[in-house]
Chain A
């Protein structure tokens, strides 16, 4: 352990170091019974990113997160978090990491505040003299100050989720691992989480966000990785991932039949007519010519846009499959 703490990097709070915050090499976990949960994972999470970790239920996301947090020993391969090997360096690394893993877990017979006091006292790096203030600040940050004295078993699912988040935010963290953070939250709560994630990211915290909700990832993440059946399918900046799938040209018009004919003439492929919209794969030529052709043909164009490809399109293009639970 001594050698481990000696190599601890002295990085500032910006987290903008060159070294990736999470780096795994050929990380593999085979459970007793032979089930291969994670298979040769090479994951790189750049410092300062909001990293979306995508995949259907049962694709190995949670097993990966547990290996990164030192809860599970990898069968083979290595995992480095904040530049140090896991699970060997848990004591040095984990005080800088806040985590919400597979939903919150609380002591129902303790109040919300006492739950946080307990988790804070479990961290040997946390100064007991400032514990009260830390707990109060964390409660305030997730909007639970008013309910802090209530027993946790009386909390709603959303409140429990908030309390779990508060536990992850007890200290200023360099890395925040959030596994399905919006589960059980109402739309208002989901919005608040997204705002919180953006806030933390702008403070320099790297956020590792696992989810099976694609639009959630798309709204907040700068980078993403996609897993399926224990394997990493792709990873990189979100913009690049979506760019892999082409956008679609969409024309809004009451004269759909005529518009569809003109668009086909102009080289637009896969033309689809729905209500008052005609969509298709954009042609290689200048869209101004397409617009002119439509207008010349007497089509009353109300709108013409190229819709950006969504991450979902990218995902389907990559895997050729839906978001079903792996068997």
Chain B
């Protein structure tokens, strides 16, 4: 193990490896293409607006529940049944607002936000002409595609966490916190409840991986960011409708949205893993299929924009 002496530079660059401190590693990440891509994405006004809308959902739900139950009655008719899951339990424990908010945003708001970011990822760059300069830099087509997908996945996690954190904050401000009752009827402590909330947020984020891959594939097909976003969101709505038609139930287990609400199973005691596992498998399948399709398309495409 010989450490290269900086005062005696080697003839070839590959031997000049410097000891990495945490600080230089952090600056190196920020300076990498992925770091730059993340910075660029999260500095966009549009990304921030999407996150702001997502953060507003729990605020609206929380205030609505607070106003409805201000006279001491319980939320929802007959102690539950109407509205998103866990709605009736919010008044007892603010932590339930996290579950309710995620259940309310997972069918449309979250995947729509992901579809917008994923659809625009490459098509938007093609639209503005910046794609040709990134490729001439040369970013490398495979490297750029992987960077874009990684960024969209980071956005999936960020968007979910924004909903969860906003819900937790609103829940803590408006409602009492404490031990909670699982769907199975057992009681768990607040700390474990928080842990479950984090797991649920991760399960929801994982649910979005399929849409992210689909959006990125659509993004490689067109040179218009708007068209790619609209197509992705359109596909999302179509799949949601197909998932509601009983005659298509043979097809439904293969629709990416089919197991989206399986995250509620994390609130059972013991946790019911079947649908959660199926969801992750299905999302991985979508990522593999549409990721490969995006790769095949993007690495051979003529860039004329």
Chain A contact residues, CB within 8 Å of chain B: 66, 69-73, 90-91, 94-95, 97, 99, 101-103, 105-110, 117-124, 128-129, 131, 164, 167
Contact = CB atoms under 8 A, between A and B. Distances in A.
B303 interface: yes
Given A117-B36, A124-B143, A128-B31, A105 B138 contact: no
A129 B27 CA distance: 9
B234 to A, nearest CB: 25
A121 B138 CA distance: 10
Nearest to B147: A122
Given A72-B304, A90-B135, A128-B27, 5 more contacts: A70-B138, A94-B136, A102-B132, A109-B44, A131-B31
A101 B132 contact: yes
Nearest to B134: A122
A95 B304 CA distance: 21
Pick from B45, B135, B300 the residue with the most CB of A within 10 Å: B135
A102 B28 CA distance: 32
A91 B138 contact: yes
Contacts of A123: 137-139
7 contacts: A69-B135, A90-B138, A101-B132, A101-B136, A117-B36, A119-B133, A124-B138
A71 B137 CA distance: 11
Pick from B35, B128, B304 the residue with the most CB of A within 10 Å: B304
A87 to B, nearest CB: 10
Contact of A118 (B40, B140, B300, B304): B40
Contacts of B140: 90-91, 124
A118 B132 CA distance: 13
A109 B45 contact: yes
Given A105-B128, A131-B31, A121 B133 contact: no
A105 B302 contact: no
A95 B129 contact: no
Contact of B303 (A72, A94, A109): A72
Contacts of A124: 33, 138-140, 143
B3 interface: no
Interface string B201-214: 00000000000000
B132 A94 contact: no
Contacts of B143: 124
Pick from A70, A121, A131 the residue with the most CB of B within 10 Å: A121
Contacts of A120: 137
A66 B129 CA distance: 13
Nearest to A123: B137
A73 B300 contact: yes
Contacts of B292: none
B40 A95 contact: no
B43 interface: yes
A105 B133 contact: yes
Interface in B172-203: none
Contacts of B36: 117-118, 121-122
B92 interface: no
Contacts of B137: 94, 119-120, 122-123
Contact of A128 (B32, B129, B138, B300): B32
B303 A66 contact: yes
Nearest to A29: B302
B277 interface: no
Interface string B116-143: 0000000000001110111111111001
Contacts of A108: 128
Contacts of A121: 31-33, 35-36
B300 to A, nearest CB: 7
Nearest to B27: A128
B6 to A, nearest CB: 13
A72 to B, nearest CB: 5
Nearest to B24: A129
Contacts of B136: 69-71, 94, 97, 99, 101
Interface string B135-174: 1111110011000000000000000000000000000000
A107 B128 contact: yes
Contact of B129 (A70, A105, A110, A119): A105
Interface in B22-68: 27-28, 31-33, 35-36, 40, 43-45
Given A94-B138, A95-B138, A109 B43 contact: yes
Contacts of A99: 133, 136
B129 A102 contact: yes
Given A118-B40, A121-B32, A131-B31, A73 B132 contact: no
Contacts of A95: 138
Interface string B222-259: 00000000000000000000000000000000000000
B40 A110 contact: yes
Contacts of A103: 129
Nearest to B129: A105
A210 to B, nearest CB: 15
A73 B27 contact: no
B134 to A, nearest CB: 5
Contact of B304 (A66, A109, A167): A66
B214 to A, nearest CB: 25
Contacts of A70: 135-136, 138
Contacts of B304: 66, 71-72
Contacts of B129: 102-103, 105
B163 to A, nearest CB: 25
Name the 5 nearest CB pairs between A and B, nearest first: A105-B129, A128-B31, A122-B137, A94-B138, A122-B139
Contacts of B300: 73
A105 B139 contact: no
Contacts of A117: 36
Nearest to A170: B137
